Structure 1
């Protein structure tokens, strides 16, 4: 049941939607936070990425990722089908452009969950997007979370931890930082960012009720 934001006037969402780019190390808890926000806030959709990595137990094609072959992915690159794409840990990841642009035009906010490399690419090529970094409380806690997943070998975990060290150095490139120590608090923090960005005057000044109010006081 969606309980946050129910009092917001739906007319506000006639404005163009916002692209929220969320990034952070693998295992930091991004998926859990995003899923809860999607359940609680209206007019927010998740952009499902394409990947060539193997499907993990419990993952659903078209919900968690679009799982494609290397050949399919490379064809999509040639056809300019992605807002951004990157090769990470021997696999491709990319954000399909059509879904993002279509939903933003319709007034829906779109959440991207992408790696830091991809986030920086979007930052350089997509004006108006909002960038949020989700970090672990400590490097040791991140190590424990990756091991608890039980989906990868020790060698792959070490590779992810080395990547995480590099990714954490890019925190200053992001507008918002959420340290995921308590899941519920992190969900509230991300929700607050979305609501605050929706209420920026520059976004809603052309909505009929806002224009009428401003005319009344002139």
Structure 2
């Protein structure tokens, strides 16, 4: 391992598993080398095998003090791998991934330190549906920010014209009050506008709770997943 890699604190890896290991080594053997990324805290991870099946970075998380993870693979079928997530404070997945709420609901004790989670892909922007879909996060007592991926669906005419309607999710104060009653630490909701083709469209809205308990929203520019992982919501 090159000497300068000893000071790396953030890493994004998108490749085949064979690019990370060679000569019969496994990722576990590589990570046993103390000089291999000893200070790593932030990890973006999309690593796959020949079958194109995504690998969850549980070995990375267990061997290093990873506190912020952007996982670009499928959440389906994960079980024991999630036990490595106990120290995570940020857990991000891609905007079009479904199953994040189900994953947390299945093993809530693993995610008790989470401060930021997303993106949750809503099936509806109706207030009652939103409250139901966010219920699995009620047990996360440290959670400050929920990121919501709001999919913008065009009409048939707009599909042919390749235009998208400004159908932004803007909840009422009553919804925020209900969320606050169930999620006591929650003080920020980041709504990312995503087209039906699952690409970010025109930034989003950031809703924050003031000291008076009133929530206020404002439009913000598009932030990449890496931007969010690095805490840019704190300064946008």
- Bigger strand fraction: 2
With normalisation by structure 2, the TM-score equals 0.28
User: Whose relative contact order is higher, 1 or 2, with alpha carbons under 8 Å and at least 6 apart?
Assistant: 1
